[in-house]
């Protein structure tokens, strides 16, 4: 059975069992394989924009008795799902927040029809949360994972008008569920951000410095 990185393991753990899961940007297909091998998904649609990753995914999925339980699709987002069975879950990880926002915007009907989305943006996390909130997604769970010297944020959201609550500025910046849980990993993540900001804040323009000072004040009560 395939072993996953700490980050992929956390994404796997956050995803609910489902009949159909779409793994967008599947890369080498390790997460897709784990979803099937461990019985979390009945069927996986694994997509990637590059033929190389899809070839690697094909190698990683073949010869395991999983034939008929998955399909590999070359695609830059969710467009390949149009006209097909609605997936229960969509997983997107390993891309910048703006790119992930574009992917969701290009297949918003599909995204909003899912039982849940598990999302892990590499950058622009604040802007990505703002996008999700503006589109009406409710935040079900959040997690911070530290691996190989880097921090990763994972979001679990769902389009549900009954659960939806528009995020405040503080929740957008820090994460509504993370603020509620205040896990040790989250605290360490904020301390890391604080150290980074302090290392360059004196060299930024005044307007940017005001923004960073506001952020430091926002997290001060949590990290101190």
Q: pLDDT digit string (tens) for 117-173?
A: 999 999 999 999 999 999 999 999 999 999 999 999 999 999 999 999 999 999 999
Q: Are 60 and 86 in contact (CB under 8 A)?
A: no
- pLDDT tens, 4-53? 999 999 999 999 999 999 999 999 999 999 999 999 999 999 999 999 99
Q: Are 102 and 77 in contact (CB under 8 A)?
A: yes
Q: With 90 as the cut, is the pLDDT of residue 106 above it? A: yes
Bridge partners of residue 44, in order along the sequence: 21, 70
d(CA 32, CA 26): 7
Q: What is the pLDDT of residue 209?
A: 87
d(CA 97, CA 101): 6
Q: Rounded to two decimals, what is the model's pTM?
A: 0.95
Q: With 90 as the cut, is the pLDDT of residue 201 above it? A: no
Least confident of 11-20, 85-94, 110-119, 208-217: 208-217
47: left (phi over 0), alpha (psi -120 to 50) or beta: beta
């Amino acid at each position: 059975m395939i072993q996953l990185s700490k980050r992929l393991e956390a994404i796997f753990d956050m995803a609910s069992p489902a009949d159909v899961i779409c793994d967008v940007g599947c890369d080498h297909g390790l997460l897709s394989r784990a979803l099937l091998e461990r019985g979390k998904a009945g069927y996986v649609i694994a997509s990637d924009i590059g033929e190389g990753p899809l070839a690697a995914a094909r190698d990683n999925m073949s010869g395991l008795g999983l034939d008929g339980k998955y399909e590999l699709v070359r695609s830059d987002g969710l467009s390949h799902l149009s006209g097909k069975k609605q997936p229960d879950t969509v997983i997107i990880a390993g891309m910048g927040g703006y790119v992930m926002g574009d992917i969701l915007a290009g297949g918003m009907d599909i995204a909003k029809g899912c039982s849940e989305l598990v999302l892990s943006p590499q950058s622009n996390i604040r802007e990505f949360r703002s996008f999700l909130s503006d589109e009406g997604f409710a935040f079900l769970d959040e997690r911070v994972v530290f691996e190989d010297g880097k921090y990763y944020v994972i979001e679990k959201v769902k389009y549900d008008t009954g659960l939806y609550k528009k995020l405040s500025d503080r929740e957008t910046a820090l994460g509504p569920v993370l603020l509620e849980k205040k896990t040790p990993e989250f605290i360490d993540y904020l301390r890391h951000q604080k150290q980074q900001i302090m290392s360059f804040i004196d060299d930024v323009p005044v307007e940017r410095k005001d923004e960073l000072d506001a952020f430091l004040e926002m997290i001060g009560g949590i990290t101190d």
